[in-house]
Copies of this chain bind each other. A is one copy, B any other.
Amino acid sequence: MAIIIRDVAEMQASAGRLRSSGKRIGVVPTMGFLHEGHLSLIHIARQRADVVVTTIFVNPTQFGPAEDFTRYPRDFERDSALASGAGSDYIFAPETNAMYPEGYATYIDVERLTTTLEGKSRPGHFRGVATVVAKLFHLTRPHVAIFGQKDAQQVVVVRQMVRDLHFDLEIIVAPIVREPDGLAMSSRNTYLTQGQRREAPVLYRALAMAEGLIRAGERSSEHVVRSMSKHITSASSGVIDYISVADGTTLEEMDICEKGRPLLISLAVRFGSTRLIDNITLTI
């Protein structure tokens, strides 16, 4: 079983000792309620590091006031068993008031990249993400940190922060893990009713269709988005928040799918009160 650490000072001291003894530390930051997607991140960390630290912390600062922080699913016993089984040596699960004590005041803003897509729909979300990731990096001191491609914009934002603030570590991005019917794994999938769950794979089908259209020669992002939108609304009760064709590095929207540029096709769709995101990347 993994060693469970709840105290921030103890985590930092342990990470320091591991570093001093020459161990390479791999960190997998999560908000818990682990699924196969998270476990794939832990497996990658296992391959890339001597010691794997999985962090489990539902970070309040990345939730908006109308969002699901309090009802976000939590199951620490199950999570620690899963994380241990997947190869975590340490589980770092701090208390909220140790991470954000009274008088807490410091936040990290990554400009531009955080105002579109998820950032537009969820103001302040990436401020919370960047802040907690920086804090977790200081506490767990990774040589390598693993993030999932599922949160594509988060990856871009964290990479930018790491570069700008000179964090001395490597970011590795793991591919999206999907259910057999194509639905991207997400802790929020547990919110879905049975009916919504049956409809939800429409997101991946729409993304696959977009890839097909582009590979067949379609270059107009507007046409691609319109086809995806039509497919989702005709085949499900999903309400589209956004569908975007953007440059995968700069996140700038692209009117024309240009050859050689990395394309990020991403979307957010609501099923009732549950908001799901998904994406694919491709280069023509």
A interface residue numbers (CB < 8 A to B): 8, 12, 16, 104-113, 130-131, 134-135, 138-139, 160-161, 164-168
Q: What 6 A-B pairs have minimum CB-CB distances, sorted nearest first?
A: A106-B164, A138-B166, A105-B111, A106-B161, A107-B109, A106-B110
Contact A166 B106 (CB under 8 A): no
**Distance between A108 CB and nearest chain B CB, rounded to angstroms:** 5
Interface centre among A104, A106, A112, A161 (most CB of B within 10 A): A106
Q: Which residue of B lies closest to A140 (CB)?
A: B166
Contact B110 A138 (CB under 8 A): no
Complex alpha-carbon distance, A131 and B138, angstroms? 15
Contact of A168 among B16, B113, B161 (CB under 8 A): B16
Contact B8 A104 (CB under 8 A): no
Complex alpha-carbon distance, A102 and B107, angstroms? 22
Contact B106 A108 (CB under 8 A): yes
Chain B contacts of A135 at CB under 8 A?
164-166
Complex alpha-carbon distance, A105 and B8, angstroms? 28
**Distance between A197 CB and nearest chain B CB, rounded to angstroms:** 38
Complex alpha-carbon distance, A130 and B109, angstroms? 12
Interface centre among A107, A131, A166 (most CB of B within 10 A): A166
For the A-B complex with A12-B168, A106-B161, A106-B165 known, give 20 more contacts whose Cβ atoms are closer than 8 Å.
A16-B168, A104-B164, A105-B110, A105-B112, A106-B108, A106-B109, A106-B130, A106-B160, A106-B164, A107-B108, A107-B109, A108-B108, A108-B109, A131-B165, A134-B165, A135-B165, A135-B166, A138-B165, A138-B166, A139-B166
Q: Which residue of B lies closest to A13 (CB)?
A: B168
**Distance between A126 CB and nearest chain B CB, rounded to angstroms:** 11
Contact A138 B167 (CB under 8 A): yes
